[in-house]
Amino acid sequence: MQTDYSDRISYLIVDTSQYQMAQYALNVSQHLFPLASRIVFSDTADGWDATEFLKIPKITSIEEYNELLLAEAWKHVETEFVQIIQWDGHVINPHAFRPQFLEVDYIGAVWPHHKTRRVGNGGFSLRSKKLMKAVHDLLGDVPDWKTTPEDELICRTLGERLESEHNIEFAKGMLAQRYSVEWDFEFDDLPFGFHGLALLIAEHKHDIAGLLDRLAPIRGWQLRVMSQLISSLTEEDLAAFYGFLQRHDLFDDFAANLDIKVSTVG
Selection from 43, 9, 15, 55 nearest residue 29 by Cα: 9
- What is the C-alpha to C-alpha distance for residues 109 and 186, in angstroms, rounded to an integer? 14
Give the model's confidence band at 230: pLDDT under 50 very low, under 70 low, under 90 confident, else very high: confident
pLDDT at 3: 66
pLDDT in tens, 42-66: 999 999 999 999 999 999 999 999 9
Amino acid at 155: C
186 pLDDT higher than 80: no
CB 25 within 8 A of CB 87: yes
CA distance between the termini of the chain: 48
pLDDT at 263: 39
- What is the C-alpha to C-alpha distance for residues 30 and 265, in angstroms, rounded to an integer? 38
pLDDT at 228: 85
pLDDT at 2: 56
The class that CATH gives domain 9-196 is alpha beta
Calculate the CA 133 to chain-centre distance.
Answer: 20
**66 phi and psi angles, rounded to 5 deg:** -65, -40
Angstrom CA distances, 18 to 88, 105, 144, stand at 9, 28, 27
| Percent residues over pLDDT 90 in the chain | 79
Burial class of residue 231 in the structure, from the number of CB atoms within 10 Å of its CB (0-12 exposed, 13-18 middle, 19+ buried): exposed
225 pLDDT higher than 90: no
- What is the C-alpha to C-alpha distance for residues 109 and 53, in angstroms, rounded to an integer? 27
- What is the C-alpha to C-alpha distance for residues 121 and 141, in angstroms, rounded to an integer? 22
pLDDT in tens, 139-180: 999 999 999 999 999 999 999 999 999 999 999 989 999 999
| Window from 21-35, 53-67, 182-196, 251-265 with minimum mean pLDDT | 251-265
Calculate the CA 79 to chain-centre distance.
Answer: 20
**Where does the chain hold its CATH 3.90.550.10 domain(s)?**
9-196
pLDDT at 195: 96
pLDDT in tens, 83-96: 999 999 999 999 99
Selection from 89, 90, 86, 59 nearest residue 72 by Cα: 59
259 pLDDT higher than 70: no
